[in-house]
Amino acid sequence: MRLTDLAKVVEGQILNFERDLEVNSFTIDSRKSSEGGVFIPLKGTTDGHNYIEDALNRGSVGYLTEKSLNFKNGILVKDTYQALKKIAIYKRKSIDTVVGITGSSGKTSTKELLNFVLSKFYKTHSTSGNYNNEIGVPLTLSNTPENTHIAIIEMGAGKVGDIDYLNEIVNPDVAVLVSVGHAHVEKFGSFENIIKGKGEIFNKAHYHVLPFDLLHHYKDKLKKFITFGEEGDIKVYGIRITPEGTAGKIAYKNQVLDLTIPIFNKGVFKNTGAVAGVLYHLGLDPIKSLEVLKDFSQIEGRGKILKIGNITIIDDSYNANPLSVKNAIETLNEIPTVKVLVLGDMLELGKESEKLHRNIAREIVKTNIDYVFLYGEETKYIKQDLEGKKPVIYADKKEIAYQIKKLENLNPTVLIKGSRGMKMEEVIKYLGN
């Protein structure tokens, strides 16, 4: 695509045209501008138009604008966000297959697993990090390289209607629902609304993948589908933590695969069933193709393993909700070392927050976890219910790191988790100092 082509796609008017340069990427952050890129200024807490000159100085070949400006190679549009959507929808048309993934927990890990496997067979493109909202999704599609066979798009939701909105941009061929839990219940208003909102992933796609235990919520709206889980069409069972990672069995009909993924996360292993469901639809062997996951590595904040001295850290700090925290607790409980759990608040739970945090305390009490460190306002409820039952310290991040260092001679495994706003990765920084 050249600048003149882009102008047609966004129905814009070229300003101060210098040369019809090739466009190879789009960014909304001037600091990430590069050669061949086009800067799209959006209006948020600050006006992106203020950074157009910076983007051009960093190598952008052009920019979109709602204002008539004198910088070279501008494209004047009515609304820069709507222009971004038009680019995404245009790029979507050139992609053979698009997989849309949503869920309360596990959607990023499922996306990473699926991309890891499919990239062995096709030219793929997937959501970067968790760019899964109304800006991140069209930006991901806009940056799809030419000749991409399969795009894997993570789709987030904070309220009913969000997925339907993204569906109009993504138009997924395959819809994957990973899980439904209490994440963002404050915004959704109720658990029933979470079920409804996440189920919107099925409204556009013609093929559906979902956990067997959620089938009863959606059976009336599904036509062509496959389920996964202990009782699903694709069976995932026998999940356990080993010194090499998370092991388990995945089966479809008469095929059974014993697999060990080199990460410590029982929840992520369950998501291999969703991956197998997509592989089946694409005509790949849904079981044998998963063997490549023996070489999978997790991204930072999503269960990545770190070593600081004699301390093994499971960095699961990127986000947290009741379902993912329960998975983390089950994972840590099976690691055959001294077990240390570090938890920050689970946010956006509204009036359910106290109850759901106390539920986490009950999950911890059932385990052999040796030490619990808590940070934040809401974790005080966990502290109250653990006192006298588990060694528990409620403190700031520096103090938590200091206390963990005192356990170093025990060669502990430390799992760190909390909602994004809690920035629990700072505990790891303090441990490294």
DSSP string, 64-95: EESS---SSSEEE-S-HHHHHHHHHHHHHTT-
pLDDT of residue 300: 67
Domain count for the chain: 3
Mean pLDDT estimate for the chain = 92
We report the CATH number of the domain holding residue 403 as 3.90.190.20
pLDDT of residue 128: 85
Model confidence, pTM:
0.81
| Element counts in the chain: helices (H) and strands (E) | 16, 20
Q: Which residues constitute the domain of residue 410?
A: 304-432
* One domain for residues 120 and 226: yes
Alpha carbons 305 and 241: distance in angstroms, whole number? 14
Inform me whether the pLDDT recorded for 184 exceeds 80: no
- Per the domain annotation, does 248 fall within a domain? yes
* One domain for residues 322 and 394: yes
pLDDT, tens digit, 9 for 90 and up, residues 66-104:
999 989 999 999 999 999 999 999 999 999 999 999 998
* One domain for residues 197 and 324: no
pLDDT, tens digit, 9 for 90 and up, residues 381-424:
999 999 999 999 999 999 999 999 999 999 999 999 999 999 99
pLDDT of residue 301: 67
Strand order, beta sheet including 245-252: 124-126, 150-154, 97-102, 174-177, 207-211, 225-229, 234-242, 245-252, 255-261
We report the CATH number of the domain holding residue 69 as 3.40.1390.10
Find the mean pLDDT for residues 279-306.
Answer: 88
- Boundary-marking domain end, from 243, 277, 295: 295
* One domain for residues 201 and 265: yes
